Amino acid sequence: MDLLLSYYLWIVIFHIMAVLSWMAMLFYQPRLYVYHTEHKNKPDFVEVVKIQEYKMYKYIGLPAMWATIISGILMIILRPDLLNLNDPWLYAKLFFAGILVVYSFSLEHFRKRLEMGIYPKSGNIFRAYNEVPTVLSLLIVGYVITKTFSLAFTLITLLIGAFIIYKVLKQTPKDAS
C-alpha cells in the first residue's frame, strides 16, 4: 500500500485523463443521436453514424468510464481521510458522478435502440439530453476545486441547467429528414 501511495499523484493524473476521455463521449454521443434521428431517412448517412456511435461508446466511453471508476476507488482507498463526514464535498461529487454513470449506461440503451431502427426520442430531446453532463460536470469540478459543498452553488447550477434544458426543448424542431 505504501508503494501505491508513493504513486498517488500519478493515479490522480490517470484519473483526470480517464475523466476527460469519458466526458468526450458523454458530450458527443447524444449529438450523434441528434444526427441519427434527424437524418433517419438517409440510410447511407445513418450507417456511418451508427459506426461512430458504436466506436465512441465501446472503444472510448466505456473503457474510460471504468478507468475513471477504478482509479477513483483507488484514490479513496489510498486517501480514506477524504471521506470526512464533516466535509461532505466528496459525497456530493460521488453522488453526481454516480448519476453520470447511470447517464452513460442510458446512452448505451439509446444507442442500441437507434441501431435497431427504433427512434425513442426526437432530435430536440437528444439536444436537451446533451446538456446533462455539462451541468453535472460543472457541479463535480466545483466540488473538487473548492473541496467544499455549497448548497447554494448546487441549487443555482441545477436551476440554470434546468432552464437551459427547458430552452433547448422549446426550440422549433429541426426537420433534416
CA-nearest of 37, 103, 117, 22 to 67 is: 22
Task: Quote the CA–CA distance of 70 and 55 in Å, as a whole number.
Answer: 22
What is the sign, positive or negative, of the torsion defined by CA atoms of 93, 75, 145, 150?
A: positive
15 is in an annotated binding site: yes
39 is in an annotated binding site: no
Task: Quote the CA–CA distance of 87 and 11 in Å, as a whole number.
Answer: 23
Task: Quote the CA–CA distance of 157 and 37 in Å, as a whole number.
Answer: 29
Task: Quote the CA–CA distance of 68 and 15 in Å, as a whole number.
Answer: 5
CA-nearest of 118, 116, 126 to 173 is: 126
**Binding site feature residues:** 15, 93
Binding site for heme, by residue number, is 15, 93
